[in-house]
Amino acid sequence: MAGHETHYILPRPTFDAPVKVLIVVAPYYKDIADDMIAGAKAEIEACGATWDLIEVPGALEVPTAIGIAERTSNFDGYVALGCVIRGETTHYDTVCNDSSRGLTLLGLQGLCIGNGILTVENRQQAVVRADPADQNKGGGAAAAALHLVALSRKWGRPTSCMGFRPAGEPVQIA
């Protein structure tokens, strides 16, 4: 069973400047979401970062909320949390594929996102994966987001004065 394999886990990243992370959760299965949130918060705090939390109706709304936050706020990274349990219809496939696709597209645009939306066959699989004392997928998603923030800061380039800028905007020299 995959849950009992040993996996390599990267050391926690360190930061010279404050890091602010937004946790976006779809709490459709509240108990599972609460466990994932606990794991994510613990991982973020262990890296010395701060977090904010918002709830959205379902997994399909998670990428949209992250996109809105990126355009209107000042977060360094994002943790996407939720749970999709297979049912009797193809809705499961739509929700899994489209929520994942939305997060991937945002990530390819440069957002630092840890995807912690569980896609499972049954409730028991979700419980094991969400439990901070077991597979801790919420903590894993937070760790992924934090590692991407660290990479972004490592490879980030200072803005330059080249190109057009609005009239009246001060020139910044790096």
Residues acting as catalytic residues: 91
Alpha carbon of 79 to those of 16, 36, 74, 173: distances in Å? 21, 10, 14, 34
- Which residue carries 């992924």 as its tokens? 144
| Eight-class DSSP state of 4 | G
d(CA 157, CA 113): 20
Neighbouring C-beta atoms of residue 69, cutoff 10 Å = 17
d(CA 86, CA 82): 13
Q: How far apart are CA 88 and CA 21, in angstroms?
A: 35
Q: Which amino acid is at 140?
A: G
